[in-house]
């Protein structure tokens, strides 16, 4: 069954640049309700686990180092058609390919340091939300 939730992270580049507030404003103004959120910092091991699906890719080691290089915000967002609409709002993985007005076009520094994460399916949204938030933290 399709859900109406997705999972996002504001990645270390955007958090470190002080862009979290502006990004969260865009998210809320696009109709997403923040139903769980926390600032945290991944260890390299946890980043590796989160991105395990990419472990054979050449950028995996760099990605794990980057994602554990500084604090992030992790959040669960709610909206009709959340996964697809959020992917549209953030834009393509590589900011060079991202549409004008998307979060990555505005805030991303590179294909790796691309400001935000957005789940790519309802199934992964649930898995990723559960990775960061226990039941008591996502009661909204
Ligand atoms: P997505 O985040 O747009 O879904 P994925 O292909 O799932 O893109 O890749 C996960 C993350 O890995 C990206 O958001 C980006 O930070 C990083 N990444 C993807 N492709 C590359 C690459 O070619 N070089 C370096 N980092 C990459």
Q: What averages of pLDDT result for each successive group of 10 residues across the chain (140 residues)?
A: 83 98 98 97 98 96 98 98 98 98 98 98 97 88
What is the bridge-based pairing of β-strands 33-40 and 116-118? unpaired
Residue 134: predicted pLDDT: 94
Residue with tokens 């990605």: 63
Question: Is this complex scored with an ipTM above 0.95?
Answer: yes
Task: Return the CATH superfamily for domain 5-138.
Answer: Nucleoside diphosphate kinase-like domain (3.30.70.141)
pTM above 0.90, yes or no: yes
Query: Ligand 1 centroid to 92 CA: how many Å?
Result: 10
Query: Best substitution site from 114, 115, 121 to test ligand 1's pocket, by max atoms within 8 Å of Cβ?
Result: 114
Residue 140: predicted pLDDT: 77
CA pseudo-torsion sign 103, 109, 112, 113: negative
Sorted by where each begins, the domain ranges of the chain are 5-138
Residue 83: predicted pLDDT: 98
Residue 1: predicted pLDDT: 37
Query: Best substitution site from 59, 67, 68, 121 to test ligand 1's pocket, by max atoms within 8 Å of Cβ?
Result: 59
- Establish whether 54 is a catalytic residue: no
What is the bridge-based pairing of β-strands 116-118 and 5-10? antiparallel
Phi-psi region of 115 (alpha: psi -120 to 50; beta: other; left: phi over 0): left
Residue 3: predicted pLDDT: 67
Query: Ligand 1 centroid to 95 CA: how many Å?
Result: 11
- Counting from 1 in the atom list of ligand 1, the atom nearest the Cα of 93 is 3
Catalytic residue among 76, 115, 117, 132: 117
């Amino acid at each position: 069954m399709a859900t109406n939730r997705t999972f996002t992270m504001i990645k270390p580049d955007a958090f470190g640049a002080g862009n979290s507030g502006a990004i969260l404003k865009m998210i809320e103004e696009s109709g997403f309700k923040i139903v769980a959120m926390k600032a945290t910092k991944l260890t390299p091991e946890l980043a590796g686990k989160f991105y395990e699906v990419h472990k054979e890719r050449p950028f995996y080691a760099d990605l794990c180092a980057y994602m554990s290089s500084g604090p992030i915000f992790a959040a669960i967002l709610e909206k009709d058609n959340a996964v697809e609409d959020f992917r549209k709002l953030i834009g393509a993985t590589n900011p060079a390919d991202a549409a004008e007005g998307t979060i990555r076009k505005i805030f991303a520094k590179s294909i790796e340091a691309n400001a935000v994460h957005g789940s790519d399916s309802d199934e992964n949204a649930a898995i990723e939300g559960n990775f960061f938030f226990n039941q008591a933290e996502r009661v909204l």
